[in-house]
Structure formats: C-alpha cells, structure tokens
Amino acid sequence: MKHWLLVLFLSILLLPCFKASATQSSILILATDTCDYEYITAVSNAYGFKPSTAGLENFTEALRSLEWSHVILVDPNYGSSKAELAGAVAKATVDYAVSGGRVVTTFNGFMMLYPVLQQETPLRIIVYDSPLKPGVPSSYNVSKYKALLLFGEGVEEHGGIYYLHVGKGLIIVVPLNIAWAYCDTHDPYYLELLLKSLTAPPWEPGGSQVKYSIALPVIAVLASAVAVSQLSLPRTRRPQGLVVLPPARLKLEADEALAHPARREIMRALEARGAVTMSELLRLLNMPKATLSWHLYVLESRGIISSFKWRKSLFYFASGPTGVESLASRLSREDPYFCIAAKSLLEDPDPVRVSEALNLPTESITRLAKLLEKEREAVLEHCG
C-alpha cells in the first residue's frame, strides 16, 4: 500500500513535467527560409522547445493532425510563384483556428492570413513604416520594416500583442517580423516575444477592442495618426487607442554584425571578387534573395560595405578606398563613360550639366560626384 502511495505521489509531482514536454512537442511551426530556421533553433535551445516544422508545401497536410497545442507562422516569406500555395495554407490555418485551434503569427504571417480572415470577421489594419525605414537601401525588401496596427470585432490587446477571436479559436498576433529582427541582432527579446505569445492565457472576448498601450516609440504613433484619421469606420467602431510595437531594437555594432556566418560569407565574396552586383552574389552564395538583401542591408547600415548604382546596375563593395578602387576598376573596364564622367566632373562639378552633356542618368552622375568627394584618389586611380 505504501508503495502505491509513493508511486501516486511521485506521479502527481512529475505530471507538470510530462505535460510541459507534451505541450512543447505538440507545436507546429511554418518556416520558409533560413532565417526562420535560425530563429526556431534559437528558441528551441533557449526554452527547451521540441517543435515540429513544415514548409509551405507540406504545412496543410501537417495541419490536419489535431494534436497541436499551437500552430506558429514565424515570418513566412514567399514569391509570386507560390502565392496560390500560400493562399491554401492561409485557408487551412484559419479553418484550424475557427475549429478551436490556437495560432501564433507575426506580421508576415498575419498579412498572409488577412484575406481569408476578412471572410470570417470584419477587421481593420494599419500597416506603417517603422522608424528604421528612412535608412533602408532601395534594394532591400522593405516589407521587413513594416509593423501592424489591428482592431475590429473580437480583437483584444495585452502587452503589445493582439488576440483575435475567430470561431472557437484564437489567433495571437505579434505585429512585427521577429525572426528577421532576431537574425539581425540575436537579441533574446525577440525570443521572449514568442514565448510570451505561447504562454498567454486564453483571453475571453468582450473587453475593449483595442486598449491604449504604447509599447515602443511614440514616433510610430505619430506616423500612423493620419492613417487612423482617414479610416472610414462608424464612430462606435473607431479604435480607442493604438498598439505600437515597431522593431526599434534593431541595433547592432559592426563587429557583432560580422558574427553572423552568412555575413562573413558575403564579406569573403566581396574581398575575393571586388565590386559585385546582387545577381552575382545570388549565384555565388546560393542564398534566397530576401535573405541576402537583409544581410546586405545589415552590413551597409553598419558601414561595413557600400553600394553604388551606375546606370541600371547596383554594385556592392567593401567600404573604404580599397573597395572603391575595385568598383572603379570594374566600371572603367566595362563602361568607358564612367571615367569620362569622372573627369568631366573635375572640370564641371554640376551633375546636371555633366549628365546632359554625356546623355547619362542624372542620378548616376550625382552619385559619382559624391563618391569623388569622399574617395577621389581611389576613383581616379583607374581613370588615368
């Protein structure tokens, strides 16, 4: 009898452990690129999760199992060729939530779900640029710098995270792209956001639609104020406040930026090849374009590399005189007008007059004039 009591006592003590293990192993995550998998690995290592992962191609099939405690859309990234597949995944995910499932999604994931969600419940969203957007190079996929304001029937906000009730289930929305933010900074804050979403209590509908909660910079509220004022909503449906959670923590020192293996690989390619275009880097590194553009942005924003657009081609090179020399060396070989334009600017510093005289794009000549101001000797080294 005593033995049975001991077994029962130990079972009660160990039950939470078994339950936690089952919960962790019953999480299904949609991942579509290397950054997603890096994020998932970091979360798994930090919190002991053992999730199942699936891509767009097999996510709908995996979703048919009813064993999942949570379904997570990390930062789904897909091109136009997979738009139809993404639509099918969105439909299956919303159906899963309607039937009683719990879905956690980030900005990208929500935008994928939004067209389907509109058929289930009336929602209004504001997509706004984060404060970082002014520094984003034109080549970068700026959707990674978007954040979201969400309000409507059945929407609750708690601590900067939205809770949307659909059918019998719940969709939990982190209104920015946390996987990309983590890939840039390795800041555990972005891991904690996912953990916070997974451990949230089952909020019951019926509270205020959107409460005042300025989670991060006020500048994002101001940037959104005009958009809010233009919404054609009945007065009773107008939001009572704004939830702001832009990726304002995206700060990384130069030496930390080079800690990422993909960025070290990019630097090795630039050191070996000199100035190269995006398409050349894609062939050399065999890296998804969205992933490559993100890492190029990180390196350029920290001053490690520079970019220069000449005519229709955008070149990347290591910052400093050596990198500029590699750019000038290549362009002087491939386009004689590059050196002609450089010499013309020495005689007449007006980019507009020089561009008209040579029939070249004014933007290219203006960029060349700025390059000459900073690295005159490096440019003229290869132009005689």
Residues 203 and 337 in one domain: no
172 bridge partner residues: 104, 163
| Per-residue pLDDT tens listing for the chain (384 residues) | 444 444 344 344 433 433 333 344 588 899 888 888 889 998 888 877 788 888 889 898 888 876 788 899 998 888 788 889 999 999 999 999 888 888 999 999 999 999 998 887 788 888 776 544 444 455 445 556 677 888 787 788 877 788 998 888 899 998 888 888 787 777 787 888 888 888 766 555 544 333 333 333 333 333 333 333 333 333 223 233 333 333 444 455 667 778 788 889 999 999 999 999 988 998 998 877 767 877 887 788 788 999 999 988 999 999 999 999 999 999 999 999 999 999 999 999 999 999 999 999 998 999 999 999 989 998 988 786
Q: Is 1 contained in some domain?
A: no
pTM: 0.56
Domain stops at, among 188, 211, 244: 244
Domain stops at, among 244, 276, 296: 244
Handedness of CA 181, 186, 188, 194 (dihedral sign): positive
| Structure tokens belonging to residue 231 | 């919404």
> What pLDDT is recorded for position 44?
86
> What pLDDT is recorded for position 192?
83
Residues 84 and 35 in one domain: yes
Residues 269 and 212 in one domain: no
Q: Which domain holds residue 122?
A: 14-244
What secondary structure does DSSP assign to 6-38, as a single string?
HHHHHHHHHHHHHHHHHHHHTEEEE--SHHHHH
Q: Is 8 contained in some domain?
A: no
> How many CB atoms are located within 10 Å of the residue 78 CB?
17
Q: CA 358, CA 184: separation in Å to the nearest integer?
A: 42
Sheet architecture: strand order including 102-105: 52-54, 27-30, 70-73, 102-105, 169-173, 161-166, 155-158
- Phi-psi sector, 294: left (phi>0), alpha (psi -120 to 50), beta: alpha
**Which domain CATH number covers 38?**
3.40.50
Q: Is 3 contained in some domain?
A: no
Tally of domains within the chain: 2
Residues 150 and 265 in one domain: no
Q: Is 6 contained in some domain?
A: no
Q: Is 38 contained in some domain?
A: yes
**Which domain CATH number covers 343?**
1.10.10.10
Residues 6+ apart with CB under 8 A from 244: 147, 149, 160, 213, 214, 215, 216, 217, 218, 220, 221, 224
Q: How far apart, in Å, are the Cα atoms of 213 and each of 110, 153, 216, 217?
A: 20, 18, 9, 11
Residues 118 and 155 in one domain: yes
Residues 187 and 314 in one domain: no
